[in-house]
Structure 1
């Protein structure tokens, strides 16, 4: 399941990030963080993860991710890796690939399983041509190009790519989440149940039936959760 999450960052926050990036200009080749397969198909720029700019921006963005109730409900985060930042321009692209199953979390000194992928767009759609994020699942290929500040969240098991940017620049933040529930189908069921409970609470308040459904939700999290 794919989820569009609006306004993970406000327009003012996006503008502040873009200004900081433009002033410091810490772009390096994206191949620097690519594996043996990805290095052949990855053609983009990334902010140097050793830079002070990266440390500041990644901490700022991750705090806003943690504030998103939709992200919390959809992904049920156990760990969120510090976001990275990329730029596609001058026909930059990233061919079909699946993200690594395990990534190292430097700040906590441990490995993290990547259950959920997340991209936050930092460029408006009319600032560049091409650059669509294409995500493939059992229902086909989904083309994603969102407003700046909006995010797409999807299973990290998905085959995906970024189409060539033929004009302008596509800037984005991206990260991965280790969920408390590693199975995508179970996470989807829990998300749908949580959204249904929320709507029923708005209509009925905390009725006996709503409380019972809420109890079922939390018991399923206990049953399926992996901490």
Structure 2
């Protein structure tokens, strides 16, 4: 796969998944030729597994491509993406972390770092202290903010950062808990509302976002 076409595919990867596997398949097929396929057989197998939607196999093959390909941000991104899709969020954090270390301008990697941290922060089945949950949510917000710096017109970044702010508001705004702090919770909800309003500014008329704004205001105004 030629490097420029691979980069185009990777930039659009998460958009393709949002739009369905058909778009994902077309993007990969457009960039892939026999002559330009990656030389590492495990990378080739990993890409094929991604094409087939077999993320577990993709993660296994791409993991086998390491450490030889550990310095390739594209390979690490595909590995992190595959790990994310099969719920291996902690592993995906390590992979996406290597991506941004190699490519500090990789907005999609920051996006998935934020999503993985947010998911881990709110998992109720894991024994994680409130303090650690707050740190993960704050880190997720920072990742989304970095992604927004790189692409300020991407609606999903504001929407996902709003979710992280909302979850922080819930965490710090639940009365009776040891970490309850009305001021912090209020600020989190205000930031959530601001991001949702930005989503509306970019995509006017979205009723689901209007509903979420109303909910966030109710949560904020009912803080005791």
Whether TM exceeds 0.5 here: the answer is: no
More helix per residue: 2
When Rg is computed on C-alpha atoms for both structures, the one with the higher figure is 2
More strand per residue: 1
Asked which structure has the greater RCO (Cα within 8 Å, sep 6+), the reply is 1
Give the TM-score normalised by the residue count of structure 2: 0.29
Give the TM-score normalised by the residue count of structure 1: 0.29
